[in-house]
Chains A and B, each alone.
Chain A
Amino acid sequence: MNSVKFLFAAYIATWLIHGFYLGTIVQRFRRLRSQLQQMGKK
């Protein structure tokens, strides 16, 4: 059965999902830290 492309698609999809989620976590950390810094400056 020539279905290696499905195998790679599944592996790539998995890491895309995890990568996207990790990206949202980093983004949210940055936003909250900058909010804290702005409040500290006031």
Chain B
Amino acid sequence: MKRLFPVLSVVTAGLLAYALYDALVVAPTDALQGDVYRIIYYHVPSAWTAFLLFFINFVASIQYLVSAKESRRAAAKWIVIAIGVVGVITSFLPPVRQQLTSAGMRPSAMATTIVLIPIFYFLIGKLFPGQKLDVLAVTTAEVGVVFCTVVLVTGPIWARPVWGIWWAPGDIRLTSTLVLWLIYVSYLVLRRFSNSAQTQMLAAALAVFGALDVPLVYFSIWFFRTQHPQPVIGGGGSIDPRMLHVLLLSWTAFLCFAFLVSWSRFRLELLRRDVEDAHALESLAGAEPAKASLPLERSTR
């Protein structure tokens, strides 16, 4: 795994450079906005990446909350399967289908979003057993906040020349995104400054509430009148295929970048816990050196 990191870093750097070149040179200029629309190639992929990271955080938090008892774990498993099956079937029921279509949303997009829930749930449970779930949760929350910060910074920079204002007060898309950011910042503050034995459980519960804001942010432009433009993908809008190609390329590059950053942050968190354990052992042993007890195997991963 250690050898994979530099290889992935080089691939990611190449992808980011290629995406930047495509965004600035290859993608056609927008007829209405001119070149400033090219902010879309950083703004939108950052938002999608942040949503994905918060979603992983949500799943990891749920898994962590139910992991204490076998009965809770089994119940959660069946609830998740039920959500997936019922959600997909509901998306294609004629009345729901009609309502989604009239709101400019494709039922297949809705079904795909819902089916991701059980897939991620079981994948994450398999790959991150026990305390690693909590490590994954804190990692994805922190990296998600960074990407969400990019969204909140690039959004106003884009809005100023296009809307004539930096921020539209009261706009549901903008406000819910800011609230989302604040919730996850609170989550990180809680984890940073609370030393209680229940911090991990409290943080996991807060993350579940925070994640409820993600669908509100995502679907707000379909269901509310907002200054923010309507979606161009999965929402009945249209986009030049060359622009779409660059947008997806840019998202791929940012996903790879987010993966690498999350990987580093995950290892950092493991190391931090190792040092904490070593400190605890040292204080337990008094003046005895804790060298022999250092869990170095975990920290060198």
The yes or no answer to B146 lying at the interface (CB within 8 A) is yes
The yes or no answer to B165 lying at the interface (CB within 8 A) is no
> In the complex the two chains form, is B153's CB within 8 Å of A14's CB?
yes
* Size of the chain B interface, CB-CB below 8 angstroms: 38
The yes or no answer to B99 lying at the interface (CB within 8 A) is no
> In the complex the two chains form, is B158's CB within 8 Å of A6's CB?
yes
Assuming the contacts A1-B34, A36-B278, asked whether A17 and B146 have C-beta atoms less than 8 A apart, the reply is yes
In the assembled complex, the Cα of A42 lies from the Cα of B290 at a distance in Å of: 8
The yes or no answer to B157 lying at the interface (CB within 8 A) is yes
Partner of A35, one of B42, B257, B275: B275
Residues of A within 8 A of B43 (CB): 10
In the assembled complex, the Cα of A21 lies from the Cα of B33 at a distance in Å of: 31
> In the complex the two chains form, is A14's CB within 8 Å of B150's CB?
yes
The yes or no answer to B271 lying at the interface (CB within 8 A) is yes
> In the complex the two chains form, is B150's CB within 8 Å of A3's CB?
no
Residues of A within 8 A of B299 (CB): 36
Total A-B pairs, Cβ < 8 A: 91
Residues of A within 8 A of B265 (CB): 25
> In the complex the two chains form, is A18's CB within 8 Å of B146's CB?
yes
Interface flags for B191-210 (1: CB within 8 Å of A; 0: not) read: 00000000000000000000
In the assembled complex, the Cα of A4 lies from the Cα of B35 at a distance in Å of: 6
**Residue on B nearest A29 in the bound complex, by CB:** B268
> In the complex the two chains form, is A28's CB within 8 Å of B268's CB?
yes
Which residues 258-287 in B have Cβ within 8 Å of A in the complex? 261, 264-265, 268, 271-272, 274-275, 278-279, 282
Would you mind naming 9 contact pairs between A and B with Cβ atoms under 8 Å apart? Answer: A1-B34, A1-B161, A3-B34, A3-B162, A10-B157, A13-B157, A14-B150, A21-B146, A39-B294
Measuring CB to CB, which residues of chain B are less than 8 angstroms from any residue of chain A? 20, 33-36, 38-39, 42-43, 46, 146, 149-150, 153-154, 157-158, 160-162, 257, 261, 264-265, 268, 271-272, 274-275, 278-279, 282, 289-291, 294, 296, 299
Measuring CB to CB, which residues of chain A are less than 8 angstroms from any residue of chain B? 1-4, 6-7, 9-11, 13-14, 17-18, 21-22, 25, 28-29, 32-33, 35-36, 39-40, 42
Q: What 6 pairs between A and B have smallest CB-CB spacing?
A: A3-B161, A3-B36, A1-B34, A10-B154, A10-B157, A10-B39
